[in-house]
Amino acid sequence: MVRQINDKFLFFDEMEINLLKKVLTTKKLSGTSEWVELYEKKLCDYFGVKFAIALSSGSAALHTALYVVGATDGAEVLVPATAPIPTVIPILIARARPVFVDVLPETFAFECNDLKRKITSKTKAAIIIPMWGYPLPYKDTLEVLEEWGIPLIEDTAQAHGTIIDEKKAGAWGLISCFSTHDRKLLATGEGGFALTNNKEIYDKAKLFSQFGYMDGIHFGYNYKPQTLQCALGLYRLDHIDKQIRIRTDKATSLLESIRNDYICELAIPPQSSPNYYSLVIRLKASSEKVRKFISFLANSNIPSDIFKYGYRPIYKHPLFREFYNLECHNAENLVKTITTLPVHPDISNDDIEYIVNIIKKAEKILF
């Protein structure tokens, strides 16, 4: 039988059935139950922040974040040109305007000169995105934003448990946004949450996500989560660190076997560690050779997010065609020379051996 490497890891634990039974018997399943509060408390503990708000999705968290920092209706929002589509759609929902900024060579961090160049009187927020859970050097970005009084929103949808300069991703921004969609490290089917250390931001976000408390004064959406999702999240939060350890071990052993002059891991800043949402490798070869390499892997049933999602600089998608003539060289180079490899807990040692063998065959393409 042909081996198929699965890019999805779906968590299940028998204990969850008992938990969900217990929750169902309370009969209260809305977004304001005690289970939601318990989940939010535990999120605060895990991420080391003061406030957490459970929400219906990562997209809801991003829209809420934009609203509470005032990045709506004609405001400009700075986003790296390597942003994925789900980061940018909430900006459109908020009727704000995305402004795409180039990245530093070989990272997903803002290139600060381009960042400064693109700040205007309308800039109301910047969104930073640790793609595939890879830590980014935040400090330079934060310095620029602080100087201009622009709030940082973290889109940490892929970065549960990622460490940046000895502190968890999601604990840095004025507000940070997480998804708990099935593909993410903390998975509840669909779902999300926002984190902040700022009481005023917390109050505003809560108000916005609950219809403005229907007081007839404040505007808001219904972005409340479901109790069952939150109960699952509460349980599964205990399993993230173990998952990250397993993923890190698999990534390390895979890298040891494939690293050479043409293949390396995406750079990791000091005092930082990825959660290994995926292993990201950088290929030192022309974009054409890299494309052939990735195709060879895909044809051998080793999936790549680059292939699967047509990953490219965001302004190359037809949805953003008004930005087609932008040129962010570092972003363009980066997306043409990377690919992802699954290293989740369901990847067996045999799978790793298979991936290594296929890469050994494919690497000749890069020479």
Residue ranges in contact with ligand PLP by CB under 6 A? 57-59, 84, 86-87, 129, 155, 157-158, 179, 181, 192
C-alpha 162 chain-centroid distance: 10
Token pair 């890299």 is found at 290
**Two tokens, residue 106:** 């070989």
The least distance separating ligand PLP from the CB of residue 132, rounded to whole angstroms, comes to: 9
Rounded to the nearest 10 degrees, the angle between the axes of helix 227-236 and helix 15-26 is 150
The least distance separating ligand PLP from the CB of residue 104, rounded to whole angstroms, comes to: 18
Instruction: Look at the alpha carbons of 326, 329, 331, 336 in this order and tell me if their dihedral is positive or negative.
Output: positive
| Closest CB to ligand PLP: residue number | 58
In terms of Cα–Cα distance, which of 162, 86, 133 is closest to 279? 133
Residue number, 72 or 158, with CB nearest to ligand PLP:
158
Q: What is the DSSP string of 14-37?
A: THHHHHHHHHHHH---STTSHHHH
Burial of 20 (0-12, 13-18, 19+ CB in 10 A): middle
Residue number, 8 or 361, with CB nearest to ligand PLP:
8
Residue number, 106 or 190, with CB nearest to ligand PLP:
190
Burial of 299 (0-12, 13-18, 19+ CB in 10 A): exposed
**Two tokens, residue 264:** 């390396």
Residue number, 86 or 212, with CB nearest to ligand PLP:
86
The least distance separating ligand PLP from the CB of residue 310, rounded to whole angstroms, comes to: 15
Residue number, 158 or 300, with CB nearest to ligand PLP:
158
The least distance separating ligand PLP from the CB of residue 138, rounded to whole angstroms, comes to: 16
The least distance separating ligand PLP from the CB of residue 8, rounded to whole angstroms, comes to: 13
Residue number, 176 or 210, with CB nearest to ligand PLP:
176
In terms of Cα–Cα distance, which of 129, 186, 178, 121 is closest to 152? 129
The least distance separating ligand PLP from the CB of residue 158, rounded to whole angstroms, comes to: 5
Residue number, 179 or 196, with CB nearest to ligand PLP:
179
Looking only at the bridges linking them, the beta strands covering 338-341 and 279-283 are: antiparallel
The least distance separating ligand PLP from the CB of residue 107, rounded to whole angstroms, comes to: 16
